[in-house]
Amino acid sequence: MSDLVHVSVSGDVATLTIDDGKVNALSPAVLAATHQAFDEAARSKVVILTGRHGIFSAGFDLSVLRAGGGEAVDLLESGFRLAEKIVNSPVPVIAAVGGHAMAMGTFLVLSTDYRIGPFGHYKIAVNEVSIGMTVPLGTLEICRRRLTPSALHRAVTLSHVFENTEALAAGFFDELVSVDAVVARAHEVATTLAALDGNAYRSTKDRLDATSRDAIKAGISQDIAALR
């Protein structure tokens, strides 16, 4: 698949691992490989999305964003469309977060159906405002569908950094386990989800998520149109 992204399949479960050997910055190459890998993984009944031990993703490659121009806009669109693809996945997606998640990395986590986080001093944050950026409309809607109202305000307007049980209570995660057990626990959950009726899952998710999906799609379209 790629030196940056790997897919392994065990029975009904595909595990997509992003690992650039560093902080899993979402560069054009990483995002292109992840798009391709996700399309492959989604042929299975359940997808587990994970990263390196200690870090899920630090977010967009800032060197590309700071350079500006068309490549920066393409990078943003690729990241937003990947999140949208995960939101719209026809099969359940589990985030196995074995470390820090920041900015676009956080948005990918919040796009999944079930999120397992780590105990310990591992941070998850929407830090755009702290670095002088306005949170994009599409990703704001992704946050809105998962976070509690009070946590949403602290996360997106104040760039509050969440850890441990505070991140769990805020809605970033569905459960916390030790960092070394994150992937194993994801496989346990995946086994349960693989037994669901796929057609019933998809039709129910369509009914539940129709409004938020429309808002995410419209937000991304507005974000990209404003940048082009």
- Domain containing 15 — which CATH number? 3.90.226.10
Looking at the structure of the chain, the number of domains it has is 1
Burial class (CB in 10 A: 0-12, 13-18, 19+), 149: exposed
Query: Along the 228 residues of the chain, how does pLDDT read in single tens digits?
Result: 589 999 999 999 999 999 999 999 999 999 999 999 999 999 999 999 999 999 999 999 999 999 999 999 999 999 999 999 999 999 999 999 999 999 999 999 999 999 999 999 999 999 999 999 999 999 999 999 999 999 999 999 999 999 999 999 999 999 999 999 999 999 999 999 999 999 999 999 999 999 999 999 999 999 999 998
Q: How far apart are CA 206 and CA 90, in angstroms?
A: 9
Domain holding 61, by residue range, is 5-227
Query: 107 burial class (0-12, 13-18, 19+ CB within 10 angstroms)?
Result: buried
126, 129, 134, 139 alpha-carbon torsion, rounded to 10°: 10
